[in-house]
Structure 1
């Protein structure tokens, strides 16, 4: 455990000494794209579950008030 902490400290010092991580525009856009895709899939999944529960209960007026 102590050797792992020492290793991490050494790596962080190396990174900070070299000026930090250099991200290119492509890497930044790729990261934004991946995060957006995760939220999009998660949001669609949540809405599908919500729609299924409303359909199961048969109360569409409640669904409209919750969505609006």
Structure 2
């Protein structure tokens, strides 16, 4: 399952990292790279991967099957 969570989860984690980086440099918010930050990124990674493979893709498949009928 971890392999399947890669595409959207990785993008979500990268966006989260980018937003934190931008807020640190533009607004002066200091974020310390810690275990909490890494765990938060992995939670986003797994959550978005789960939503992709077990919610989004089955809905797309069911819609395409309905159109074929």
- TM-score interval for Structure 1 and Structure 2 normalised by the shorter chain: 0.3 to 0.5
TM-score, normalization: structure 1? 0.46
Under a length normalisation based on structure 2, what TM-score does the superposition of the two structures give? 0.46
Q: Which has the higher contact order (CA 8 A, sep 6+)?
A: 2
